[in-house]
Amino acid sequence: MEESFIVSARKYRPATFESVVGQKSITTTLKNAIKTKQLAHAYLFCGPRGVGKTTCARIFAKTINCQNLTEEVEACNECQSCKAFNTGRSLNIHELDAASNNSVDDIRKLIDQVRIPPQIGKYSLYIIDEVHMLSTQAFNAFLKTLEEPPEHAIFILATTEKHKILPTILSRCQIFDFNRIQVTDIVDHLLYISKKEGIEADADALNIIAQKADGGLRDALSFFDQIASFSDKKITYEKVIQSLNVLDYDYYFKLTDAFITGDYLSSLIIFNDILNNGFDAQNFIVGISSHFRDLLVVKDAKTIELLDVGHSIKEKYLEQTKKSSIEFLLNALNVVSQADVDYRMAKNKRLLVEIMLLKISQITGELQKKYYTNSNTQIFKNILTKEKQNTSIVKEPKNKYNDNNSNIENNQNQKINEVVSALPSVNSLMNKGFKTEEKINETKENKEKPKTFGDNIVTKEQIKPVLIEFANTFKNDKPRVASTLISYDFELKIQTIVLKLSNETQKSEIVKISKELLAYINQKLESNLKFEVELSENPQVDKKPYTKEEKYEYLKEKNPDIENLKKQFKLFID
């Protein structure tokens, strides 16, 4: 009779703490608790799916009741309790699926069962899986028993969503957070299983399976079984890519080569090929950003360990990272990140991704242009310096030392002259836009040197319209300030605009915007003016009505009867 097939996730399920993959800290803690007999009455195992929460709970339950523990604090598999557990007939271990038993009545049945002591062994273990699915009423009914259970009862709660559990439950448990299993740990475990099953498997292929599993060993084993059937027990990189519909690394390497050379047409063609093969555009964005990140990681030997890929693919990364600069990778990551943010809101998603590809293709050209300009400027500055040094050499009278070294000096000067003569002339470079050292220094001095009235004569007639234009920019937001700038006159002293106002209120408001005003005027007139605000020595000469009181006084001067009218009707200024 043929043996029935058992999936790898069940067949190779860990039976001891030592065989648990990727949770060394948790298994060590549990073993020490058993060894020192410091067992809590409630545990909470939380973490992503397929990382070993229920498996560790079963191993823990089996080991607690083992009658002959090994020196490594593992179950002996020979005592009556271990044999009963291995054959699935142990009465000391009770499992409850809270996803389908989440009512108050289910919890009451569990509470009644807790009172019964174990027949074999010392403890009764109650494993409640997906405990976050319990209703609020069921949680409340469970609280008292969870806090003060019988001495023989130990609860192990398992969940993938710890945030959904009531804080009152969390406070009564020892919490163990299970981590996602590392890619290298999954690959090593898959290699072990492939040897046991007689399956040929490439390390790069298993690495893709591990990455696709996203930290879940159970998912990795399911993919492993699927591909083993698909590839007739010969798991290769190509078979994994084809079976799991994973976007091949080659696409990203080809795209990056096109980006580095500025070949935007090839990048568009490659992206079209990716879409035709049924891949999602957003997954492509995530993939290309991960590729740029990996290239950035490989740049330094200190961070190369962060790259979780196979050996042959790592060699491709090392080769391609030599062609790409850090500045290119950072700019490319910035473009891709922005496209990832805009993807959901975009109506034409394909066009968005294609624009992203075009932007990345232009990065290298812009960087090369920047580098070419900077490097050539420095080269020609060095050349001009050498020409100056050669022309400033003064011939000295011959002596014994000069006679001995004249041949060497002549040879050196001849080589320098040959190099200089092969370069374009200074005049031709200046005609093409290059500047001599004197011109560069002159331009720099002109930029740094502030303009004065001697350089750019500014008159009061030129300043007035600019000042009015500035006032109109905030006329709606600050009408009083704008009115003050427009209505009050100013004096133009040497490099200084002096605005004379009537009162302190006006002065304080104008001072607040003085920096902005001065920058606006200097930019418009290309000047280097200063700005001051003064109070008028004779306010009666140029004072204009500003506040409500000033306006009333102004009207009273025009018509004295206004004061009588105010007194007669007992009016006041609000």
Q: Is 435 helix (H, G, I), strand (E, B) or coil?
A: coil
Residues 6+ positions from 249 with CB-CB distance below 8 Å: 291, 309, 313, 316
Residues in the chain: 574
| Closest to 156 (Cα-Cα) out of 72, 92, 218, 217 | 92
492 half-sphere exposure, CB direction, 13 A CA radius: 12
Measured distance CA(7)–CA(297) in Å, rounded: 37
Is residue 7 helix, strand or coil?
coil
For the chain, what is the mean pLDDT? 78
Task: Calculate mean pLDDT across residues 214-228.
Answer: 85
Sign, CA dihedral 44-45-49-54, equals negative
> What's the one-letter identity of residue 441?
N
Enumerate the CATH 1.10.8.60 domain ranges in the chain, comma separated: 183-244
Strand runs labelled E in 245-394: none
How many angstroms from the chain centroid is the CA of residue 47? 24
Q: Could you give the angle at the alpha carbon of 525 between the alpha carbons of 521 and 526, nearest 5°?
A: 105
Q: Does domain 8-177 have CATH number 3.40.50.300?
A: yes
Structure tokens at 281: 């555009």
Give the pLDDT confidence score for residue 454 in this predicted structure.
40
The Cα 234–Cα 222 span in angstroms is 16
Neighbours of 526 (CB within 10 A): 10
pLDDT attached to residue 447: 43
User: 453-493: per-residue pLDDT in tens?
Assistant: 344 567 878 888 888 888 888 777 788 778 887 777 788 87
Q: Are 289 and 336 in contact (CB under 8 A)?
A: yes
Residue 68 has pLDDT above 80, yes or no: yes
Q: What is the mean pLDDT of residues 194-212?
A: 84
Contacts of 498 (CB under 8 A, 6+ apart): 490, 491, 492, 532, 533, 534
Alpha-carbon span 391 to 420, nearest angstrom: 13
Range list for CATH 3.40.50.300 in the chain: 8-177
CATH class, domain 259-366, is mainly alpha
pLDDT, tens only, 181-191: 888 888 888 88
Residue with tokens 């990996």: 294
Which of 48-52, 310-314, 546-550 ranks highest by mean pLDDT?
48-52
Joined tokens for residue 303: 């961070």
Tokens for 491, please give them: 């004096």
Could you give the CA distance from residue 19 to residue 359 in angstroms, rounded to a whole number? 50
Compute the C-alpha angle 401/402/405, nearest 5°. 90
Tokens for 196?
A: 């046991």
Residue 533: phi, psi to the nearest 5? -120, 130
Alpha carbon distances (Å) from 125 to 68, 84, 394, 457, 526: 18, 14, 100, 94, 85
pLDDT digits (tens, 9 = 90+) for 385-407: 554 555 444 444 444 444 544 55
Q: Is the pLDDT assigned to residue 433 strictly greater than 70? A: no
Backbone φ, ψ for residue 7 (5° rounding): -65, 150
Q: What is the CATH number of domain 460-543?
A: 3.30.300
pLDDT tens, residue by residue, 112-168: 888 888 877 788 888 888 888 888 888 888 888 888 888 888 899 998 888 888 888
Region label for 236, one of left (φ > 0), alpha (ψ between -120 and 50) or beta (otherwise) = beta
Range with the lowest mean pLDDT among 79-93, 246-260, 410-424, 535-549?
Answer: 410-424
CA 283 – CA 275 distance, rounded (Å): 11
Q: What is the pLDDT of residue 542?
A: 46
Token couple for 69:
């523990």
Residue 432 confidence (pLDDT) above 60: no
Q: What percent of the chain has pLDDT over 70?
A: 81
**φ, ψ dihedrals at 497, nearest 5°:** -95, 120
Burial of 77 (0-12, 13-18, 19+ CB in 10 A): middle
Write out pLDDT tens, residues 323-340: 888 888 898 999 999 989
Select the CATH number that applies to the domain covering 183-244 from these four: 3.40.47.10, 3.40.50.720, 3.90.79.10, 1.10.8.60. 1.10.8.60
Which pLDDT value is given to residue 370? 61
Q: From CA 279, how far away is CA 247, in angstroms rounded?
A: 7
Return residue ranges of the chain for CATH 3.30.300: 460-543
- Residues 91 and 119: their CA atoms lie apart, in Å, by 7
pTM for the model: 0.55
Average pLDDT over residues 26-35: 89
Give residue 367's Cα distance to chain centre: 23
Q: Give the model confidence (pLDDT) of 270-291 as tens digits.
A: 899 888 888 888 888 988 898 8
CA neighbor of 295 nearest in space, from 335, 334, 332, 346: 332
Give the pair of three-digit tokens for residue 43.
């545990």
CB atoms within 10 A of CB 179: 15
CA nearest to 179, candidates 22, 17, 18: 22
Q: How many CA atoms lie within 13 A of 471 on its CB side?
A: 18
Would residue 536 be called left, alpha or beta, if left means φ above 0 and alpha means ψ between -120 and 50 degrees? beta
